[in-house]
Every structure is written in C-alpha cells, then in structure tokens.
C-alpha cells in the first residue's frame, strides 16, 4: 500500500509540473464557446492592455489551435488546485502511516 501511495504522489507531482509548464506558455484570457443556429463559435476573451476592458475576438478555423490551447488552459486552471489538494492529503496520510509503523515497531 505504501508503494502505491508513493507512486501516486510521484504521478501527481509530475502532472502538476506539466500543468505549471503549460500555464507559463499560454496567452492571456479564456475561451468562450457559443452555439447559434446549430453552429458553434469560439471566442478569445481577454483584457486589452491599454483600456483594461474585456475584448472578444472570434477564433477562425485556421486559428483553431488557439481555441485548443485556451480550452486546455481552462481545464488546467480548474484541475490544478484539486491535484494540489490530493497531493497534500496523500503526503499527510503517508507521513501519518509512517509514524504509526514506527510506533508499532517500537512495541
């Protein structure tokens, strides 16, 4: 069981490192998806540098990779705190388990 938890901790640390790397290299803003009359439209929402107002830019098919990157960014931003919480709880559990094993060995 201990080895399984250690493997899960390593997996979570690796996944969080990948998320951190991806989040460093993404454009500002977020993806907004709208469906109208049976068609799907993708928009890049971001704050303008000069006015600080939220701007909206239509994402064309040739810029589909931008929509993909923004979608991944949104997912990463939502998943990151959940993974961090799980990692913290697993590390705490492993630490407490090691204390219990140590106390049992002293008896």
> Is a pLDDT exceeding 80 seen at residue 1?
no
Tell me what percent of the residues of the chain surpass a pLDDT of 90: 77
Predicted pLDDT of residue 52: 82
> Is a pLDDT exceeding 90 seen at residue 65?
yes
User: Got the DSSP string for 23-91?
Assistant: HHTS-SSEEEEEEETTEEEEEEEEE-TTT--EEEEE--GGGHHHHHHHHHHHHHHHHHHHHHHHHHHHH
> Is a pLDDT exceeding 70 seen at residue 104?
no
More confident of the two residues 50 and 101: 50
> Is a pLDDT exceeding 70 seen at residue 81?
yes
Residues with Cβ < 8 Å from 82, sequence gap 6 or more? Answer: none
What is the mean predicted confidence (pLDDT) over 32-40? 95
Tell me what percent of the residues of the chain surpass a pLDDT of 70: 92
Whole-number average pLDDT of the chain? 91
What is the mean predicted confidence (pLDDT) over 58-81? 96
Predicted pLDDT of residue 6: 92
């Amino acid at each position: 069981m201990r080895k399984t938890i250690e493997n899960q901790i390593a997996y979570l640390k690796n996944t969080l490192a990948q998320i951190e790397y991806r989040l460093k290299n993404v454009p500002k803003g977020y993806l907004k998806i709208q469906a109208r009359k049976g068609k799907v439209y993708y928009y890049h929402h971001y704050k303008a540098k000069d006015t600080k107002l939220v701007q909206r830019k239509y994402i064309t098919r040739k810029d589909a990779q931008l929509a993909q990157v923004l979608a991944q960014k949104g997912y990463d931003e939502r998943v990151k705190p959940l993974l961090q919480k799980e990692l913290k709880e697993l590390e705490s559990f492993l630490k407490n388990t090691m204390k219990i094993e140590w106390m049992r060995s002293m008896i």
